[in-house]
Amino acid sequence: MRFSLQNNPPTTNYIKGKAMSEQAKDEASLNNIYTHEDDTVIPFQVEKLDIRGRAVQLGKTLNSILTRHQYPEPVSYLLAEALLLTVLLGTSLKLTGKFILQTHSDGPVNMLVCDFLPPSGLRGYARFDKERLKQAIDNDQASSETLLGKGTLAFTIDQGSHMQSYQGIVALDGSNLQEASRAYFDQSEQILTDIRLAVAILINQDQKGKSQKSWRAGGILTQLLPQASSHHKVYDPHQKREQTKTHTQLENQWQEAKILMATIESAELTDPQVGSKQLLFRLFHEQGVRVFNSVSLVDQCSCSREKIKGILEGFPLDERNKMVKNKYISVTCEFCSKTYRFITQEFLEEKT
């Protein structure tokens, strides 16, 4: 399963401008926590470095998902990171199905599940042990690495029941999602990849002056893809033909890109007054950064009454009867928390 990034031609734009001054940032309204760039994944290319990547800031979509679940803050932070990783990877693939990110581990947060369903649907949930989580928080051991523990991180492309699924797996060995993902690309895809993820809680005031909490997150993924990059360069008949770069030249380019990525502060990734395009300009304006058509994201669940009923019909009659409580079979979707209720008479074709 190859996760090399696919850009979205034909629309491309070089980013021009200058970084926002500190004075302008100070004058910006603190209430303006959502921007038009929120919840959009922006593909980009840095031709001089043979770098391609994606950048995203999640605002309302993330806040909607996390607010609905009402998880403890450390769990919400982890789920937000997983959602970021899901959109950075999922939107890079030409999917006919959905992209699923899932962790199974022995830590207090033993499962994270997120999926991206093209063209824009994003959802996710977490499972955790309340007692172990409380103990970890009380002992000041609530880092991502500790909460995840050891286990696996899996990436799956689900193309439906009649198509083959593809899956990539990497170990969670005391690492966080960012580190595990880098290890996956290094070991399995053999593509030089760098990833930065950040999550923040912003406190702003509503119209009545009451403080309210809003979740934000931002991420950026870069890959060294010299061959793929050349296919998307703008043709200039007056430009001299470039010679094939040596391994040393490409390695130097990648080291430069990594150094630039290392300068990113977490606050820049989540700051609504910066935005993804402004951040890309700050990082790569000297090398010439070009952006492609963005991909919009929405909080959207694909569950339905028909799908849930189909799953229940797959159970033997005696097992389904054990699910009946107060004359109903109730099923709650872990992604969106919607509850579906069925009566036994709805299942006409009983399976024994």
Q: Where are the domains of the chain?
A: 12-22+35-234+254-299, 305-346
Supply the pLDDT for residue 13: 59
pLDDT at 230: 43
User: Residue 226: its pLDDT value, please?
Assistant: 73
pLDDT in tens, 67-103: 999 999 999 999 999 999 999 999 988 777 899 999 9
Residue 203 CA, distance from chain mean position: 23
User: CATH number of the domain at 12-22+35-234+254-299, out of 3.55.30.10, 3.10.450.50, 3.50.50.60, 3.10.620.30?
Assistant: 3.55.30.10
Confidence of residue 5 (pLDDT cuts 50, 70, 90): low
Each residue's pLDDT tens digit, 118-158: 999 999 999 999 999 999 999 999 999 999 999 999 999 99
Q: What is the structure's pLDDT at 349?
A: 55
- pLDDT classification of 26: cutoffs 50, 70, 90: very low
Q: What is the pLDDT of residue 302?
A: 93
Alpha-carbon distances, residue 182 vs 22, 43, 146, 175, 290 (angstroms): 33, 19, 18, 10, 24
Q: Dump pLDDT digits (tens) for 284-296.
A: 999 999 999 999 9
CA distance 84 to 66: 13
Is 208 or 88 the better-scoring residue by pLDDT? 88
Question: 109 with 128: CB under 8 angstroms?
Answer: yes
| pLDDT band with cut points at 50, 70 and 90 for residue 14 | low
Average pLDDT over every residue of 188-192: 89
pLDDT at 212: 87
